Structures are given as structure tokens and as C-alpha cells.
Structure 1
Amino acid sequence: MGFQETHALENARDSVALTSDVQDESFREPAADGYPLGGFTWRHASPDPQRPVVIINAATSVRCRHYSRFAAYLFVHNFDVIIFDYRGIGESRPKSMKHLQASWTDWGALDFEAMLNRAQREFPGQPIDVVGHSFGGCAAGLGASGSAIRRLVTVGAQFAYWRDYAPEHRWRMFGKWHLLMPLLTLFCGYFPGKRLGWLEDTPAGVVRDWSTPSARYERRPSGRVMLAKTGHLPFSNVRANTLAISISDDPYGTIPATERLLDYFHNAQKTHLRIEPQDIGEQEVGHFAFFRSAYQATLWPIALTWLQTGALAPNTPGRQVPRS
């Protein structure tokens, strides 16, 4: 029986569990600088030092609740799970966005770092794994405690260098994210994405990082500040067994974009899996759909197997991208 058939049978059983009342608990956690962050935990009743805890890092300005079904899926497969919102987003949004100068580096070095500390405190002795979507994969390399990460799965992960966008979408995306977004942010004091139907409202510092047209993270505004303060970026702390998943019709997560970020994880063991939608019997997947429950039987088992074993299952859809 092939990969898809086997997991289709397994996930048929899992669907029953996922539609039952899988309970999560909300929490408040101070970031490394004291900023109050909100999120949710899926926690098994009995502690188990062999059970991993997974932290899910969201994409830029995507609420953590987008990942709830995937979190429940991991919980059913014997993981404890933490999802959270970066400062300025969802459960971590302040009353006013105009005075919040949060940056991408704040989201990684302060907010994600707080989740690493929470995982170690709330689940002592358990292995810590991370799933990072889009910028969430970059955030995984910005925490000072990155050495605590055992396994890392990224999906469409990159830090938005415009020349890496898919050629057929590049100029439209450049106009939207590198011209219009910063102009609206200058006018409003933050990016009013919700009113436009473009993601959540987004802090000005994040917009500056995203829209700066540099191929190097350390040349983004907050990256420059971090480098000046510490003399280095903490990506090299991460020694995790890392799977980077990219989808061929994702205009952000192209091969160059994925490889550009992977190159920062100097000390990690890295595998880059490139998937065509046709590999899983679909016409399109794109940048955001991986975590929708429609892909529970086809895409989710790839991440699950890596988190469970640190390897790809035989007959996994897609192909491995050779790395230099």
C-alpha cells in the first residue's frame, strides 16, 4: 500500500478524533521584554518525558487560530502543542496599534523565545519541536534558546526578498507588499490589513522589515539593530533536524527563497522537500493552504512523520532539492 493510501486510512480514523471535542486551554505569557502574549495549549493529562511538545510559529500577520486544526491533529498523535500570536496580532493585539513598534526580530527574539522558555517550564524534560509557516520558519532561528529545538519543520519559509518571488507574480507582489503596504503604514501608523482583507493589521516595524528590498536578513531594519547589539544573528544556535517543505505554486516559498533562509541555519541538518500540487492529486495549494484540514490526508502526514522520526517516509510525495 502506498504513502497516500496508508495515510488516507489512518486519517479517516483521525478525522473522528479531530471532530470530537479536543480541548485546548488559553494562556497569557510575558515575552522576554514583558509584553503580554496570548495563545493556546493542547496538553495531555499525564506528563510523559518521551512525548514531544510542538510550538507552531505563524506566518506574518496570520492569527494562530489558523493552525488550530493542525495542532489538534498533532495532539491526537501524542504531541503536546503550543500556538501563540506574535505581539500586535490576534490574542496579542494591544488596544492601539499606532504606538506598537514591533518588528520581525521582536517576534522571533522576544516572542518565540518566550514560547521556548514556556515549553521548557510547562513541559520539563520533554523534547521540543517547532513547525514554522512562512516567516515563522525564520522566527525559529531568532530565539537565543534555539539549541533546545530537536526537530524543525518549515512550510513556505522565507523572509520576503522580492527577487525570490515567483517571476509571474513578482511585480504585482512588489507593488502590493513593498510599495503600497509601507505607504499605507506611513499614513496610518500601522498596516490596516484587516480592512483591506490582506492578513491582520500589522505593526509598522514588521512592515519596515518586510518591505526593505534586501537579500540579507541582517540588512533589514531590525536585523541591523540585532547585529549591532549582539554582533551576530542566533540562527547558528539551531542544531535541529530540519525539513523545509516548499510547494511549487507558492509565489513566496520558491526554491531560491527557501534556500536563502536555510543557508542561515549553519549548524542544522537540512532537507528541502519540493512538492507539486499534482503530486497529491491537487491543482493548486499555494502559500496558505497547507494547514487547512483538507490536506489532513495528504500533506499533514509528511510533517507528522518528520516530527515523529526525523525522516521522510518511503514514497513521500515530492522530490528532495539538492543542496550545495
Structure 2
Amino acid sequence: MMAPATGIKRQFYANFASYLADNGFGVITFDNRGIGGSLYGPIKRHTASLQCWGEKDMPAVLEHLKSQFPQTKYHLLGHSAGGQLIGLMPNAMDISSMFNVACSSGQLRNMRRGYQLPAHFFMNFFIPLSNIVFGHTKSQWVGMGQPLPKAVAKQWQQWCNGQGYVKTAFGRTVHQHCYDELTLPSMWVNAIDDDIANNMNVADMMSVFPKLKGQTLTLTPSEHGLTEIGHMKFFSSKSKILWPLALNWLDKH
């Protein structure tokens, strides 16, 4: 199950998904509600939130995957939000392992100083202003993926301003979750040139899973003959040299 980053369409993962399929895995990619092919009607009227992506969309996708490939093991390959939201899934216990890429809390205060200003601008100025003016967040204007439904962007802003991302909503909007219960093996891969999913923010997100069996791997682009990995380029065809990392993990688990 390829769980996407916030505002990223399923087509972005097509080449990587084909690679996994060519190596024997059944793979599903999807758009969360309000994004790409899952946007119906005017986006400003859409009520989608990050929370409903985790509580409703991701569980439904997993159930469909199970129906297509019964009696086998199921794995989550999460990109950013795709790994963050697993604990909201009521059927998360059906997942055997998790391989996360660029998955972290995105906590603003942990970002390097040079990136904090644009990050604060986007989260704390652009998102609220765009929501007021347009009724949704025009993320595409600043290179942050697809336009976002208002509630998605608002929760994104709130969660990245706190510690532990979704943990900031525990007892407020999130009243049931399984973050405390998950023990599945997991690999958390980030890159040294990722300003969002830096090592501190990866550790911050992992702390939300107290029982999780987590391993970490920080990639340096030059060590793999690459000029850039950052937050997004792991899934680029130019980064195919990295893809066996995921394949080997899946084969092992």
C-alpha cells in the first residue's frame, strides 16, 4: 500500500509502484479524498481533513488491497504523511511492516534556521490567508503539491506547529487511535538534504509510537551518485539506485 504525502497525486509514485510490481508485489496507489482523482465538486466545499485520510481513506484502501490479494502479508510504504497517519487506521494491526520515506513530525522549530522562515511563511501566513481568500489552500502556488481542502491545510498547520505531529490532536479531535499499540517492524528513511524530515523530526515522529520496532537510515546523495534526494526525489526515476532499499525490506518482512 503506497500511502502518499500531503497533496501528492498517485501518479507521482507510478514508476516506483511498477518497480515493486515487476518484482512480485501487488501494489496499490491512491489519491486521498480532495486530491487528484478523489476530488469531487468545488474544492472550497470539500470537508476532507488529514484525520479523515487516516481514519477513513487509508483503512478503505487497505481493505481493497486485502480483497485483491487475500491470505498474504500487507505492508505500508509511506511517504511523509502516508507514514504519519498509520496510527489512525482502525485496521493498522493488519499491516506486517512499514517502510517510510521522508516521514517525520515536520515540527517547524526543529528545522534549520535558513528553512524556518519559508516554512513559517507557508504554514502560518500563506495557509490561513489562502483559506480565507479562496476557501482552500493553493499549495501549488508555492510548489507544495496539489490544492488542499481547507481542513487538510488547517490541521497540517496545527500539527507542524506542535510536538509529535498528530499527537497534538490526541484528546482534542483524535479520541481513538492505535499509536500506543503498534509494534510492527518499521524502517524510517530520510535524506541529509531534506529540510523537513531531518533527523530531529524523524525522531520526534517515531516517539509517537512508544512500542514500535523502528530502524532509521539517513541517506547522503553523493554516496549514491545523486545530486539531490531531499523530501521528494526518492521516488524519482533518477533515484532508481535507491529503490532496492525498499524492495529488500519488503522481501525480508
- TM (norm. structure 1) is 0.73
Q: Is residue 2:82 matched to residue 1:136?
A: yes
Query: Partner residue of 2:185?
Result: 241
CA-CA distance at 1:125 after TM superposition: 0.7
Please list every run of at least 4 consecutive aligned residues from structure 1 whose deviation after the TM superposition is greater than 4 angstroms: none
Are the equivalent residues in 2 in contact too, given 1:74–1:81 (CA < 8 A)?
A: yes
Gaps of 5+ in 1: 1-54, 311-324
CA-CA distance at 1:196 after TM superposition: 5.1
Specify whether residues 287 and 89 from structure 1 end up closer, same or farther in structure 2 by C-alpha distance, changes over 3 A only: same
Gaps of 5+ in 2: none
Residue among 274, 282, 288 paired with 2:232: 288
Render the CA deviation track for 1:20-53: whole Å, top value 9, x for unaligned: xxxxxxxxxxxxxxxxxxxxxxxxxxxxxxxxxx
- TM (norm. structure 2) is 0.93
Q: Is residue 2:250 matched to residue 1:304?
A: no
CA-CA distance at 1:178 after TM superposition: 2.4
Are the equivalent residues in 2 in contact too, given 1:146–1:237 (CA < 8 A)?
A: no
Render the CA deviation track for 1:38-86: whole Å, top value 9, x for unaligned: xxxxxxxxxxxxxxxxx00000000011000000000011000000100
What is the percent sequence identity of the aligned residues?
26
Specify whether residues 90 and 183 from structure 1 end up closer, same or farther in structure 2 by C-alpha distance, changes over 3 A only: same
Equivalent residue runs for 1:192-231 within 5 Å: 192-195=138-141, 197-212=143-158, 213-216=161-164, 217-220=166-169, 224-227=172-175, 230=176
The structure in which a higher percent of residues are helix is: 2
CA-CA distance at 1:224 after TM superposition: 2.2
The structure in which a higher percent of residues are strand is: 1
SS of residue paired to 1:168: helix
Query: Partner residue of 1:34?
Result: none
CA-CA distance at 1:159 after TM superposition: 3.4
- State the alpha-carbon separation in 1 of the partners of residues 142 and 121 from structure 2: 15
- State the alpha-carbon separation in 2 of the partners of residues 269 and 280 from structure 1: 27
Q: Is residue 2:136 matched to residue 1:190?
A: yes
CA-CA distance at 1:223 after TM superposition: 7.2
SS of residue paired to 2:128: helix
RCO (CA 8 Å, sep 6+): is it higher in 1 or 2?
A: 2
Specify whether residues 68 and 79 from structure 1 end up closer, same or farther in structure 2 by C-alpha distance, changes over 3 A only: same
Q: Structure 2: which amino acid aligns with 1:219?
A: T
Specify whether residues 181 and 138 from structure 1 end up closer, same or farther in structure 2 by C-alpha distance, changes over 3 A only: same
Query: Partner residue of 2:44?
Result: 98
Specify whether residues 197 and 286 from structure 1 end up closer, same or farther in structure 2 by C-alpha distance, changes over 3 A only: closer
Give the alignment's Cα RMSD to 1 decimal.
1.6
